[in-house]
Amino acid sequence: MCGIVGYVGSKDSIPVLLRGLKRLEYRGYDSAGVAVLHENNLHFIKKAGKVSSLQSFIDDTTIKGNLGIAHTRWATHGEPNDINAHPHIDHTEKIALVHNGIIENYDSIKQALIKRGVPFTSNTDSEVLVQLISELYYNNNEKISFEDAVRAALQEVIGAYGIVVICKDEPNKLIAARMGSPLVLGIGEGEFLIASDASPIIEYTRNVIYLDDNELVTIDDGHYSISKIDSKNIVNKTLTKIDLTIEEIEKGEFPHFMLKEIHDQQHSISDTMRGRFNLEDGTTQLGGISDYFSNILSASRIYITACGTSWHAGLIGKHLIEEYARVPVHVEYASEFRYRNVIIDSDTILIAISQSGETADTLAAIRKTKKLGAITLGICNVVGSTISRETHAGIFTHTGPEIGVASTKAFTAQLTILIMLALKLGRKKNVSKNRGKKLIRALRDIDQDVVSILKNSDEVKKVAKNTWKANNFLYLGRGVNFPIALEGALKLKEISYIHAEGYPAAEMKHGPIALIDENMPVVFIAPQDDSFSKVLANIEEVKARNGIIITITDKKNNLLESLSDYILTIPNTHKHVFPITCSIILQMLAYELAICRGCEIDQPRNLAKSVTVE
């Protein structure tokens, strides 16, 4: 939610900031802006629309400077327009600020400042911060430093923020602070960058420091210092080396990140599994959780919490852990969990699943659980992310950066980790070595399964070409494939804006069947497993009502062919690996439908990749 970047060093900051904004655009893209200090002047440009549109305005100017800040916005307060775009500038036009987060008490501060004669220009919560800093700095009985004015302002606000702020009267200084919204400091040769994540930084340096909540960094004349916002105590932080490559964060020959990431699954699932199998013993090795493994094994209950696609992975995790490890698992939306009177004791384990590792609700659920004394584990993709640092232990998905807003390869990697975890727990309980080996062998073959699924793209395109005008889709699956139906529907909604619902196939009769007519495509997830005959009966029911039947199966038969309008066949595999491979063909279907509808695949309307506000 909003991307922020700041630069100070010997280079002109404008190109650095614009490249940084492009890398961060997945976080929000309704407006963008930059502010720089140059020859004792503060210059700024901010515009509604994408970074490319900001760039064309900047190209018509001579704006430059060695110190600057920039922002790409996902609107919370105030519509996306030029005025509400960041940076926000104080009424003296000397201070500029970019903000990611929400200031909850903005209205009371705003009213108090208005009473003091401070004029406001925008409808945002963020402007309050810059006006408050300005008031504390310029209109104060005692003279305080700019840094102290920032500190004092931050102590008045309630809410979440990652900010970067600069001031014309202290022109060598760049100040950033974090409370709830991520910030990474990059330390290069004679230059510093600060950003919402490491992607704008890696072109310049691999040395980074992840800021924690209640930390403020001041970069001044080639030096930086990090201190607590409230106490001013200096914090000594360790430098982390990031091993992200530029290729990983670019889309290469693919037209969209989403398509690249769908194709990445030819190796990303194996990358997630690498070094984690023990075929001989039919089990897995998950070093990240070894210190807590005995606690997980003896847990009386496990909660899985997450949002969106990661929550769907959690539903499958429940199925697998209960099946293999025989421990009760409760799956909760993090946004509900954090406010519910959940039953947590020292025998409870919380597993939080998050691609970004920054989702605000998931983080809040972890913090709550820690307070209640239980162990928290993370399944995250982003190394260095807040969730990966705040959980007691965890397992990384190692799937590489996921930039398309619609999650694809992170989801299949999460499922892979959950299978490995369930199997590891199961093998310590009653699951036989042979059963373990069968599952591992199926996982080991997954690369070739994915290659063969990707070869279906012409078939998928054909389905899309014939169905893209539909206003609604229904996705139906049973058992471990019910969450795949939910995920297929979510993918479609997100990028094509077609309304879609996922249901357990047998639930159709209890309501959704009323929607079926000749205009309703129904996607059936129908592997030839023990639920096949039941799903077949549901297909018959839709056929009887003239619905358009799209069947995903691992084996065609005559009856299926006669009932289905379209059949997409994917390789036969282990029933617990099938959800992974099936989700890939559903990602392809959503992608092709969105292409037919001319949608913005990587930047769907109203969405942002990482939801760092509540």
Q: Which residues bind to ligand M6R, rule: CB under 6 A?
A: 307-310, 354-356, 359, 362, 405-407, 494, 610-611
Q: Known catalytic residue: 2?
A: yes
Decide whether 153 or 380 has the Cβ nearer to ligand M6R. 380
Nearest-approach distance from CB 484 to ligand M6R, in angstroms: 14
Evaluate whether 479 touches 522 at the Cβ level (below 8 Å). no
The rounded distance, in Å, linking the Cα atoms of 351 and 314 is 9
Decide whether 97 or 360 has the Cβ nearer to ligand M6R. 360
Decide whether 266 or 407 has the Cβ nearer to ligand M6R. 407
Catalytic one of 2, 307, 582, 599: 2
Sign of CA dihedral 348, 351, 357, 362: negative
Long-range contacts of 76-82 (CB under 8 A, 24+ apart): 76/1, 76/102, 76/125, 76/613, 77/102, 77/106, 77/123, 77/124, 77/125, 77/126, 78/122, 78/123, 78/124, 79/123, 80/30, 80/31, 80/48, 81/31, 81/48, 82/31, 82/46, 82/47, 82/48
Nearest-approach distance from CB 363 to ligand M6R, in angstroms: 9
Nearest-approach distance from CB 354 to ligand M6R, in angstroms: 3
Place of tokens 């400077």: 65
The rounded distance, in Å, linking the Cα atoms of 480 and 488 is 13
* DSSP at 602: S
Nearest-approach distance from CB 409 to ligand M6R, in angstroms: 11
Q: Are strands 173-179 and 566-569 parallel, antiparallel or unpaired?
A: unpaired
Decide whether 218 or 309 has the Cβ nearer to ligand M6R. 309
Nearest-approach distance from CB 380 to ligand M6R, in angstroms: 8
The rounded distance, in Å, linking the Cα atoms of 296 and 302 is 8
The rounded distance, in Å, linking the Cα atoms of 497 and 590 is 10
Evaluate whether 510 touches 496 at the Cβ level (below 8 Å). no
Nearest-approach distance from CB 361 to ligand M6R, in angstroms: 8
Decide whether 407 or 496 has the Cβ nearer to ligand M6R. 407
Nearest-approach distance from CB 179 to ligand M6R, in angstroms: 19
Strand, helix or coil for residue 262: helix
Q: Is 396 left (phi over 0), alpha (psi -120 to 50) or beta?
A: beta
Catalytic one of 94, 493, 575, 609: 609
Decide whether 198 or 536 has the Cβ nearer to ligand M6R. 198
CA 475 to chain centre: 24
* DSSP at 23: H
Decide whether 362 or 603 has the Cβ nearer to ligand M6R. 362
- Give per-residue burial for 30-43: e unless 16+ CB within 10 Å, then b: bbbbbbbbbeeebb
Evaluate whether 551 touches 570 at the Cβ level (below 8 Å). no
Residue with the closest Cβ to ligand M6R? 308
Query: What count of residues does the chain have?
Result: 614
Decide whether 242 or 379 has the Cβ nearer to ligand M6R. 379
Evaluate whether 442 touches 450 at the Cβ level (below 8 Å). no
532, exposed or middle or buried, with CB in 10 Å at 0-12, 13-18, 19+?
middle
Nearest-approach distance from CB 308 to ligand M6R, in angstroms: 2
* Both tokens assigned to 45: 């440009």
Omega cis (within 30) before 87: yes
Residue 305 to residues 162, 360, 505, 507: CA-CA distances in angstroms?
24, 12, 24, 24
Decide whether 382 or 474 has the Cβ nearer to ligand M6R. 382
Decide whether 170 or 261 has the Cβ nearer to ligand M6R. 261
Q: Known catalytic residue: 575?
A: no
Evaluate whether 36 touches 51 at the Cβ level (below 8 Å). no
Evaluate whether 160 touches 135 at the Cβ level (below 8 Å). no
Nearest-approach distance from CB 370 to ligand M6R, in angstroms: 18
Note the helical H segments in 468-526: 482-496
Catalytic site positions: 2, 609
